[in-house]
């Protein structure tokens, strides 16, 4: 079911529809229709930001409510040799890079991340496909990592570059948040799940939990955090893999 | 009897003021687009659960599953509770995922369908639906139309009238004469249920699927009994709305299509004379 679910979204299949993607690129630049879609998404973003200006916390659940099984959606094992080597050494040689519009670019090993003050939360994960599951996540608040690196004045978005290639055309997964969602107290870089180290299928060594958002914003296998002023230069410019290749809306908060 | 006084009454009523007509068509566009995109979203995970937690492997009270997806004729099974129906050929369309595998959709989707955009359009039309309903609700209250046209009056509620209306509907008998000037009781009730029941329930249960919204309004979970319950209620209410539309369109077709369409476009409705034959 796991790989299947990520593929379900790719009706027609990327492999079979390179020309379709090219056509979409054309549509993006010319037709007003996708612009209308993005305008509606922008409207949703501003309306919701008015509603949640006080940054309310999402509901946290009790240990008894944790799902006995938690779907592993999207990539469940990154295929690159690089990832296999990291896995063999239990991510000892891996470090999270933080760069871009920051005052101090950082490289933080898993041990260093785990030494920072942590947050543990039991929350409801929702996939845009419709299913949901409850898990417990332990990690370091993203706000804390960004405070360590310091943000340049022009910083507006936080981009997550991942270790997994979700499709066949060689693109690594990527996602992005604006500072409002990035600095939310429940937005954490999780290295633990249900009291254990984060499983490979759920995004080891590090995944994003952004509890105010839908599934695909919660990037797995986070390798590098880039702070930018605009999403134009990221991928095809819509801010994330699904946004670029499936026309998903960037502000998925609904 | 009303039939004896048709000469006293004008033949043409100005039945639908402009706000009613604008709302009707804005709502029609919104509802049709939402039903279309909504069923495509349902397509990708055709299982309904109760409570907060719900994913494959968990008990679903409604579920569409396929077996032998790689075979020329895959079998599809619809389960509601403990009842199973083999719906091969009726529901369930199997699609090649482009990676050498197959999966099941409830309905067939366009070959180049992108799911992400479908969901985005659903929200875009959600704005159309909810903003037009809000404006229309204000209009209904402020203009007195709610009281004058939609709320039942005492004579609607007599047993004799209720029995008469049900019989007229079952016989597909068209209302003529003075009685055609007002909505009948069944019409009033169905409009009230749609405007004040189904559409608000759809909007609220849809909002309950948003993490950001429920962070601010956690009582929505209590109202619907959990995240998956809200999703299930959303689909059930959408199905009821779809049923309403089928009946609504059918009745327009059998009750004087041109007259009714004209009245919803220009506002003018011709009252047919009552005939005793």
pTM of the model: 0.88
The answer to whether A15 contacts B114, with C-beta atoms less than 8 Å apart, is no
Q: Do residues A251 and A176 lie in contact, with contact meaning Cβ atoms separated by under 8 Å?
A: no
Range of the domain at B98: 47-105
Q: Which of A1, A7, A11 to mutate to test the interface with B (most CBs of B within 10 A)?
A: A11
CA dist A24 and A22 (Å) reads 5
Q: Tell me which H or E stretch contains B77.
A: strand B75-80
- Exposure on the CB side of residue A51, measured as CA atoms within 13 A: 19
Query: A214 to chain B: nearest residue by CA?
Result: B211
**Domain assignment present for B276:** no
Taking contacts as CB-CB distances below 8 angstroms, the residues of chain B near A4 are 97, 101, 103
Three-point CA angle A58, A62, A63, nearest 5°: 130
Same domain assignment for residues B32 and B88: no
Same domain assignment for residues B27 and B67: no
Own/partner contacts of B273-276, CB < 8 Å, gap of 24 or more, are: B273/B3, B273/B6, B273/B176, B273/B177, B274/B2, B274/B3, B274/B6, B274/B176, B274/B177, B274/B178, B274/B179, B275/B176, B276/B3
Taking contacts as CB-CB distances below 8 angstroms, the residues of chain B near A43 are 127
- CATH number (domain holding residue A21): 3.90.420.10
Say whether residue B42 is in contact with chain A using an 8 A CB cutoff: yes
**Domain assignment present for B125:** yes
The region that residue A203 occupies, defined by phi over 0 for left and psi between -120 and 50 for alpha, beta otherwise, is left
**Domain assignment present for A251:** no
Domain total of chain A: 1
The answer to whether A132 contacts B52, with C-beta atoms less than 8 Å apart, is yes
Same domain assignment for residues B94 and B205: no
Please determine, for residue A21, whether its predicted confidence score (pLDDT) is greater than 80: no
Q: Is the dihedral of CA A15, A20, A21, A22 positive or negative?
A: positive
CA dist B21 and B27 (Å) reads 10
Please determine, for residue A227, whether its predicted confidence score (pLDDT) is greater than 70: yes
Same domain assignment for residues B133 and B232: yes
Report yes or no for ipTM above 0.90: no
Same domain assignment for residues B55 and B120: no
Structure tokens at A22: 């090219």
Range of the domain at A112: 2-246
Same domain assignment for residues B175 and B264: yes
The answer to whether A41 contacts B42, with C-beta atoms less than 8 Å apart, is no
Say whether residue B222 is in contact with chain A using an 8 A CB cutoff: no
Q: Which of B76, B105, B134 is the last residue of a domain?
A: B105
- Give residue-wise pLDDT tens across range B21-36: 999 999 999 999 999 9
Most distant CA atoms of chain A, gap in Å: 52
Residue of B95, B119, B213 lying closest to A248 (CB–CB)? B119
- CATH number (domain holding residue B239): 1.20.950.20
Per-residue confidence band for A131, with pLDDT thresholds at 50, 70 and 90: very high
Q: Which of B57, B75, B105 is the last residue of a domain?
A: B105
Q: Which of B43, B45, B212 to mutate to test the interface with A (most CBs of A within 10 A)?
A: B212
Q: Chains A, B: CB contacts under 8 A, how many? A: 172
Taking contacts as CB-CB distances below 8 angstroms, the residues of chain B near A58 are 211, 214-215
Q: How near does any CA of chain B get to the CA of A55, in Å?
A: 8
Same domain assignment for residues B214 and B156: yes
Please determine, for residue A14, whether its predicted confidence score (pLDDT) is greater than 50: no
Residues 112-131 of A with CB under 8 A from B: 124, 126-131
Same domain assignment for residues B255 and B227: yes
**Domain assignment present for A253:** no
Same domain assignment for residues B235 and B149: yes
Same domain assignment for residues B35 and B125: yes
Say whether residue A41 is in contact with chain B using an 8 A CB cutoff: yes
Q: Do residues A247 and A223 lie in contact, with contact meaning Cβ atoms separated by under 8 Å?
A: no
- Give residue-wise pLDDT tens across range B175-227: 777 778 888 888 999 999 999 999 999 999 999 999 999 999 999 999 999 99
Of A147, A154, A165, which Cα lies nearest the Cα of A3? Answer: A165
- Give residue-wise pLDDT tens across range A102-127: 999 999 999 999 999 999 999 999 99
């Amino acid at each position: 079911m796991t790989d299947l679910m990520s593929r379900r979204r790719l009706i027609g299949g990327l492999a079979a529809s390179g020309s379709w993607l090219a056509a979409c690129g054309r549509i993006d630049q010319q037709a007003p229709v996708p612009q209308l879609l993005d305008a509606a998404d922008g409207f949703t973003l501003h309306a919701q930001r008015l509603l949640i200006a006080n940054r309310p916390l999402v509901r946290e659940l009790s240990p008894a409510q944790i799902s006995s099984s938690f779907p592993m959606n999207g990539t469940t094992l990154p295929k690159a040799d690089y990832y296999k080597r990291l896995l063999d050494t239990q991510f000892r040689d891996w470090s999270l890079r933080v760069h871009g519009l920051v005052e101090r670019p950082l490289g933080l090993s898993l041990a260093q991340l785990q030494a920072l003050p942590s947050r543990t939360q039991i929350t409801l994960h929702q996939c845009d496909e419709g299913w949901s599951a409850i898990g417990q996540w332990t990690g370091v608040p993203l706000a804390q990592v960004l405070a360590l690196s310091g943000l340049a004045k022009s910083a507006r978005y936080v981009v997550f570059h991942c270790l997994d290639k979700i499709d066949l055309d060689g693109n690594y997964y990527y996602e992005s948040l604006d500072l409002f969602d990035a600095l939310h107290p429940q937005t954490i870089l999780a290295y633990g799940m249900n009291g254990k180290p984060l499983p490979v299928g759920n995004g080891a060594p590090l995944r994003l939990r952004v509890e105010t958002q839908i599934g695909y914003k919660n990037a797995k296998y986070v390798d590098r955090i880039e702070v930018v002023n605009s999403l134009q230069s990221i991928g095809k410019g819509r801010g994330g893999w699904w946004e670029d290749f499936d026309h998903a809306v960037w502000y998925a908060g609904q | 009897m009303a039939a004896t006084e048709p000469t006293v009454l004008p033949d043409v009523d100005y039945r639908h003021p402009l706000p009613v007509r604008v709302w009707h068509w804005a709502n029609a566009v919104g509802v049709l687009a939402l039903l279309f995109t909504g069923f495509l979203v349902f397509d990708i995970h055709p299982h309904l659960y109760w409570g907060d937690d719900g994913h494959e492997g968990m008990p679903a009270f409604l579920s569409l599953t396929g077996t032998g997806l790689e075979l020329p004729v895959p079998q599809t099974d619809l389960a509601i509770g403990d009842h199973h129906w083999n719906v091969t050929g009726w529901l369930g369309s199997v699609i090649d995922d482009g990676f050498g595998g197959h999966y099941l959709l409830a309905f067939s989707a366009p070959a180049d369908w992108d799911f992400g955009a479908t969901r985005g359009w659903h929200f875009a039309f959600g704005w159309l639906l909810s903003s037009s309903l809000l404006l229309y609700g204000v209009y209904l209250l402020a203009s007195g139309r709610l009281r004058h046209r939609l709320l039942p009056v005492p004579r609607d509620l007599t047993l004799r009238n209720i029995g008469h209306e049900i019989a007229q509907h079952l016989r597909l008998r068209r209302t003529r004469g003075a009685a055609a000037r007002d909505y009948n009781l069944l019409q009033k009730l169905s409009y009230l249920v749609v405007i004040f029941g189904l559409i608000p329930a759809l909007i609220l249960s849809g909002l309950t699927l948003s993490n950001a919204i429920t962070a601010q309004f956690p009582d929505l979970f209590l109202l619907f009994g959990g995240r998956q319950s809200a999703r299930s209620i959303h689909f059930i209410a959408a199905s009821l709305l779809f049923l309403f539309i089928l009946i609504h369109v059918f009745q327009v077709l059998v009750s004087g299509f041109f007259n009714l369409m004209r009245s919803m476009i220009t506002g003018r409705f011709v009252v047919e004379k009552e005939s005793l034959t």
